[in-house]
Structure 1
Amino acid sequence: MIVGSDLARAQLVSRSVDVISTHQSPSGAYPACPTFSAYRGYAWLRDGAFIAEGMSRSGVLEGVTAFHEWCAGVVGARQARVDALVGRAADGESVSPAEMLPTRFTLDGGEGTDEWWDHQLDGYGTWLWALAEHVGRHGTEVKGARTAVRVAAKYLSWFWDQPCYDWWEEHVDQRHVSTLAAIHAGLRAAIGTGFLDEQEERAAAEAVEGIAALVAAEGIAQGGHLRKWLGSDAVDASLLACVYPFGLYPVDHPVSVATVAEVERRLAHEGGVYRYLADTFYGGGRWVLLAGFLGLNHAAAGRREEALRYLDWMGAQATATGELPEQVSDVLLAPGRFDEWLARWGSVATPLLWSHGMYLMLADALEVRA
């Protein structure tokens, strides 16, 4: 099969749906990777939300609704915990990162016993955004959504400006622009559901305004692009999501244009995309899912040929059985750091369901169908 042909693209769309569906837990959760030692048995709200969005765009209804119902159960079950955290914060008490809600869960909705870098706010915002996209697209009802949306919105409305780990489980002491954008998108989506009462809606709207003001004041570097975190002029490929799909700024806004261009200039290489220049995880390879984000931004801006180039690079990384990895290790930023991760956790995560979800999202944007 010729990589980049219409047939090859369509076949990988079909295969991606099959991989995700096959590995979805009976609980509804999407495991990050069914085989990778550090991910096996766990589901992330962030990963799962993007996986679900890819499946929803591909016309999968039942499996995606089951995922969102799993999320609603997970989040809704923590209502008392969120109320307690907010109560303490309202009384002026400090809340440590260790006390906040986790970022990943066991497939049955528990928190597991393995130590992890857990305090990440972006997943809750990303889930709210993906839930609204799915319901708006298919008009389906998601059991438990009303309670869970209120819980997540309350949590984010109170703690949006707190430092936390980024997408990559790093830098817990920083406020990351991609996290702020995910919360911004999630709270806008929560307001749009109509599930929030007047006070909750007002708090969410104030948080949305606060995020926009903070990013405008501190989140834009001298070159006009978004920053990896407030106070840093570095870029990170997760910033692509701030433009599309989260819409922190419109696609044609000068900040958006500068951000996509700077990420591509500094982090893209022959169709693949690095996370950030100082990356040493598995030697710092190019990530398949990040090529999807860059392609999506090109597609949103009307640059179809550029977007297709990233879709085809993603497809070229598939194994002989049509599975997409987390990253590829052919052109590394820090080759001397590859072996330590291989010894620690084994081979690069394959299949990574998020990679397949991003392939589906980009394929849909380009009207590539199975």
Structure 2
Amino acid sequence: MRRRFWVPLALATTVLLAGAAAGAKAMSPDERLITAPGYRAAPGYAESGQAAADTRWVAAGIVPGAGTHWSDMARWALVDVRSHLEANGTVSAGPGGPWHHFWPRDGSFAAVALSRTGHSAEAASVLDRMSRLEFDPAVGFRARYAMDGAPLTDRARQSDGCGWVLWAITEVRRDGGAGVPTSAAELRDRCVATLTRLVAGGDRLPPASPDYWEVKVTRTTLGTVAPMLAGLAAAGRDYAVTGDDAAAQRARTTVERLAATVAREMGPGYERFGDVGGLDASTLMLLPPFTAPGDLPTPMVRAVEAAAVRYQREAAQPAGGVAPGVEWLDNGGASWTPQTALVAVTDAAAGRDLEAGRRLDWLDAHRTAYGSLPERVTRSGAPAGPAPLVWTASLVVLALSELETPGP
């Protein structure tokens, strides 16, 4: 998540807080929509060669939700992912400004969405690019990288990245493996080794690190350790599929120990810092499809499921979506689409089709005039912030795909 916003100068006044004299309950004005100059909204796109190329590319794969009222949203979500994918495999998070960078987290979701829809070459390019990013074996990936793959040092490293990458490799291989490049084996081994060291084989929580909130923290967050736990569990399954039974067993042992550590240190409430910090969307990261049955002990799963239900209730926003966390400070009361889409993904994976459908309906109803999913929706229901947001686009594709997968 990008919590410090770049806004064109002409729009700067729209994000100023209401005057201090207005009192403590004053809220900021509704935010404005931010998109790249000349994007699809520009006149002429429908007649352009790019529009025809986008149509052919989508048709060459699979559109989840085809034949439903969500098919238009799915098609544009796929076009938006493709539009932000460079030939070198980097995927920008959104249009321009601080979003025109490559996050391993966002890239992992894009890779799975591309693979799930039959665009295996593009999925492979994203995973291969991740294998060639600057990487510190002691910590992992940078928070983000330039679009040419160069490391950006303006933010602290974020150790959840390896967890998402391991989950992505496993999911892409589950789709048939065509989207898994040869470089993925070394990338998997490197990430497993780094995460195993960070958690001392599962016997401790990892050191504090910024997570998807993109803010400095002094305590370990669930948003950091949940993707690690999910990623290591996924890696264990991937090792088994590729015939490395010894590595699979080592990963499973680490997961068992780490799950016990997380349950002890962050349960039973599973708030952002375990016992404080409020519930946030990281509870969803411990549920399917990010984990599989048997990855986590049953009592832990039940506690996390209960926490996820409370999160959705307590983080509900006026426009109908959710905030990234219960204690996320947002003067405007905006709904955030990535977290709302995460809810849809986990509901669909659990077989709660009606609940997932309601979230997808809400996302569909709050797209931009040109069909893209924005990062936020204002308290009055208008799309806001950068649009499209690739993380949300990828999540919507995955939610629709989960709805088409038989069984919870």
TM-score (norm 2): 0.72
Other-structure match for 1:354 = 391
Match of 2:197 among 116, 137, 158: 158
Name the CA distance, whole Å, in 2 between partners of 1:285 and 1:44: 23
- The CA deviation at 1:192 is 3.2
Return the letter of the residue paired with 1:126.
Answer: W
Match of 1:29 among 65, 86, 90: 90
User: Structure 1 residues 138-147 or 306-315, which shifts more?
Assistant: 138-147
Match of 2:357 among 308, 314, 323: 308
- The CA deviation at 1:355 is 0.9
Return the letter of the residue paired with 2:150.
Answer: G
* Closer, same or farther: CA 6–100 of 1 in aligned 2, 3 Å: closer
- The CA deviation at 1:146 is 1.8
* Closer, same or farther: CA 72–283 of 1 in aligned 2, 3 Å: same
Residue-pair matches, total: 325
Name the CA distance, whole Å, in 1 between partners of 2:217 and 2:248: 28
- The CA deviation at 1:257 is 2.8
2:193 matched to 1:148? no
2:105 matched to 1:105? no
Name the CA distance, whole Å, in 2 between partners of 1:5 and 1:137: 19
Match of 1:73 among 132, 135, 156: 132
Secondary structure, counterpart of 1:119 in structure 2: coil
* Closer, same or farther: CA 321–282 of 1 in aligned 2, 3 Å: farther
* Closer, same or farther: CA 219–249 of 1 in aligned 2, 3 Å: same
- The CA deviation at 1:124 is 1.0
2:174 matched to 1:136? yes
Other-structure match for 1:241 = 285
Greater C-alpha Rg:
2
Alignment map for 1:248-263 (pairs within 5 Å): 249=296, 253-263=301-311
Other-structure match for 1:176 = 221
2:280 matched to 1:232? no
TM-score (norm 1): 0.79
CA contact (8 A) 2:373 2:388 kept: yes
CA contact (8 A) 1:120 1:164 kept: yes
* Closer, same or farther: CA 49–216 of 1 in aligned 2, 3 Å: same
Superposed CA RMSD in Å reads 2.8
Q: Which has the higher contact order (CA 8 A, sep 6+)?
A: 1
Name the CA distance, whole Å, in 2 between partners of 1:101 and 1:28: 16
Name the CA distance, whole Å, in 2 between partners of 1:298 and 1:199: 34
Other-structure match for 1:208 = 255
- The CA deviation at 1:302 is 2.2
Name the CA distance, whole Å, in 1 between partners of 2:314 and 2:94: 28
CA contact (8 A) 1:325 1:352 kept: yes
Alignment map for 1:179-190 (pairs within 5 Å): 179-190=224-235
Percent identity over the alignment is 27
Name the CA distance, whole Å, in 2 between partners of 1:207 and 1:170: 28
Name the CA distance, whole Å, in 2 between partners of 1:146 and 1:182: 19
Name the CA distance, whole Å, in 2 between partners of 1:25 and 1:281: 33
Secondary structure, counterpart of 1:54 in structure 2: helix
2:98 matched to 1:38? yes
5+ residue gaps, structure 2, are: 1-64, 200-205
User: Structure 1 residues 351-360 or 48-57, which shifts more?
Assistant: 48-57
- The CA deviation at 1:201 is 5.9
Name the CA distance, whole Å, in 2 between partners of 1:244 and 1:164: 24
Name the CA distance, whole Å, in 2 between partners of 1:306 and 1:299: 8
